[in-house]
Amino acid sequence: MADDGAGGTGEGKISFWADTAGGAGGASSAGGHQGGQTEFTVSLEGAKALRASLEKVVETFYESYSDVNAVKSKKSFGVDPHSASLGEANERSLSGQGVGYLWANKKASEVVVRTIAKLDEAIKQYEEVDDEASSALKNSGTGL
């Protein structure tokens, strides 16, 4: 069969809803938080490949936490008029407290973990329906 554009051959589509980045706490143009979801449809093979890729993304986020903590523990190079303000700006940008890279990475990793759970559930439901359909066909005597 021809490629269906969703990583498969047109057989066995899986649909699931995933939170958007705004749902991770991304700021809207008005300064608030926007949430939302996007529906994805992929083949069974594509869903399994997507899951494997998302696991790697989560690992990368977790590795970044230790990298950020290593940077945060570094002392300034010396005392000058700008070191204190530079240190404070660095601390804010690496903060896990509602702003900064660490906070954003934590929120994004939470969305990816939820997406993996939703994808797992969609795969499970698909496989259960597929198994039931196969059993029904076998029991009907068609032998398909």
Chain length of the chain: 144
Number of separate domains in the chain: 1
What contacts 51, CB < 8 A, 6 or more positions away?
A: 116, 119, 120, 123
CA–centroid distance for 3 within its chain: 25
Residue 64 lies in a domain: yes
| Higher per-residue confidence, 1 vs 100 | 100
Residue 69 lies in a domain: yes
Q: What is the mean pLDDT of residues 25-45?
A: 67
Residue 62 lies in a domain: yes
Which candidate, 118, 121, 123, places its Cα nearest to that of 47? 123
The band of 42, judged by pLDDT with boundaries at 50, 70 and 90, is very high
The band of 76, judged by pLDDT with boundaries at 50, 70 and 90, is low
Residue 113 lies in a domain: yes
| Higher per-residue confidence, 13 vs 142 | 13
Q: What is the mean pLDDT of residues 63-86?
A: 69
Instruction: Report pLDDT for 33.
Output: 44
Residues spanned by the domain of 86? 13-139
Tabulate helix, strand, coil % of the chain (nearest 5): 60, 10, 30
Residue 31 lies in a domain: yes
Q: Is pLDDT of 29 > 80?
A: no
Residue 57 lies in a domain: yes
Show the tokens assigned to 104: 């954003």
Instruction: Report pLDDT for 78.
Output: 64
Query: Half-sphere exposure of residue 48, counting CA atoms within 13 Å on the CB side?
Result: 7
Q: What is the mean pLDDT of residues 98-115?
A: 84
Residue 131 lies in a domain: yes
Instruction: Report pLDDT for 22.
Output: 59
Cut 0.75: pTM above it:
no
Whole-angstrom distance, CA of residue 113 vs CA of residue 120:
11
Q: What is the mean pLDDT of residues 54-72?
A: 81
Residue 135 lies in a domain: yes
Instruction: Report pLDDT for 10.
Output: 47
